[in-house]
Amino acid sequence: MDSQPPAPAAPSTETRVALPRVAVVFGGRSEEHSISCATAASVLRTLDRDRYDVVPIGITREGHWVLVPDDPSALEIRDGRLPEVPGTGRQVMVPLGGVDHVWRLVEDDGSTTEIGVVDVVLPLLHGPFGEDGTIQGLLELADIRYVGCGVLASAAMMDKHVMKVVFSAAGLPVGPYTVVTDLAWRRDREACLEAARALRFPVFVKPARAGSSVGVHKVDDPAELEAAVEKARTHDPKVLVEQGVAGREIECGVLQGRGTDEPRVSECGEITVTGGGHEFYDFEAKYLDEASVRITAPADVAPSVREEIHRVARTAFEAAGCEGLARVDCFVTPEGGVVLNEINTMPGFTPFSMYPQAWAATGLSYPELVEELLQLALARPLGLR
């Protein structure tokens, strides 16, 4: 008879006085669930248990918060297998602030066990129901400090349309695009297609509020546009159609400054798709076919271009009201111009992802980067900022 693995034990409350308690939250209801798990695997492997009392909390695809074993290997992408949060753990109850700040576990018999007070949450969630201001709002209500951007910046930067509006208002260079809302598509599909056909092809059709290149389609022929929009709409009823920008994809990490210091920027990094039949840096190239992708940090760019990317990155970070971290993605045209593509408020965070690699090239190692983010979060004030 097969024996069941033991349920993860409740974190000890004996270390509460000595060690800050960090809840690492991952998984979630979005299509980037597995990528979030892979990110959590790297962070859990890095966190120093002599410095922090670590509580791994997974959110299942159905939205249940459960305590999971502190086993990073179970959360890694291996041999094309995408990990996910098991639904077998004990349910976690998050306090909603006020008088009670104690996190609890629900036992099988309905009784509860105390986890204790959590000092800071590391929300390693990508996409909707996590990176979009939802979990940030929950943590604000619960008076809990957390790593990363607040509610408004998370929500606005998750929506690629709103993002471009904010950047344009800040005087930042963005490429031509059009937006296809759900109502507009249902009301007058041809008018939407006509606006998109006015762009120079190829175009990229994207769900407006998704990440990790989920649902993104490159369209070379206007005749294929309608089908691409329909496919993108299966991920999000709001769709963005962007004119392709000829140039190199250069990215830059941004890290909040200490106190009143300005945001810190990393060395620039470049992503090159070298094979595998990928027309662009799509989901498969990012996570399932790493041999076909080359990340170079620091990128070989002229000093003037590097300076402009850094200016754009800092300006975008502050215009969006970001906190903690963000990755800013740009295109560098053959003439040396810089076009801002987007900002990611919870970028991929494995040691092999662009954000940590760019910081490593700047002199900040992966463990140092995780530590700095936690310290920034622990220092942030509660309430309105």
Q: Is the peptide bond before 351 cis (omega within 30 degrees of 0)?
A: no
pLDDT value for 79: 77
pLDDT value for 261: 95
Which positions ≥6 away from 85 have C-beta within 8 Å? 26, 27, 33, 37, 58, 59, 60, 61, 66, 68
DSSP string, 20-84: -EEEEEEE-SSTTHHHHHHHHHHHHHHS-TTT-EEEEEEE-TT--EEE--S-GGGGS-BTTBPP-
The residue among 32 and 307 whose pLDDT is bigger is: 307
Cα 323 from chain centroid (whole Å): 13
**Is the pLDDT confidence value at 102 over 60?**
yes
**pTM, two decimal places:** 0.87
Residue 180 and residue 96: Cα distance in Å, rounded?
37
Tokens of 212: 């990790």
Beta bridge partners of 243: 203
Beta bridge partners of 250: 270, 330
pLDDT value for 367: 97
**Long-range contacts made by residues 220-225, C-beta under 8 angstroms, separation at least 24?**
222/197, 225/193, 225/196, 225/197
Residue 281 and residue 213: Cα distance in Å, rounded?
8
Identify the weakest region by mean pLDDT among 55-69, 128-142, 213-227, 371-385: 371-385
pLDDT value for 246: 92
**Is the pLDDT confidence value at 4 over 50?**
no
Residue 146 and residue 23: Cα distance in Å, rounded?
9
Under DSSP, the state recorded for 333 is -
* pLDDT per position as a tens digit, 49-80: 999 999 999 999 999 999 999 999 999 988 77
Residue 310 and residue 175: Cα distance in Å, rounded?
18
Average pLDDT over residues 239-246: 96
pLDDT band at 214 (very low <50, low <70, confident <90, very high): confident
Domains and CATH numbers, the chain: 21-147 (3.40.50.20), 157-174+246-375 (3.30.470.20), 177-243 (3.30.1490.20)
- Percent pLDDT > 90 in the chain is 77
Tokens of 242: 């962007």
The residue among 13 and 294 whose pLDDT is bigger is: 294
Residue 153 and residue 84: Cα distance in Å, rounded?
27
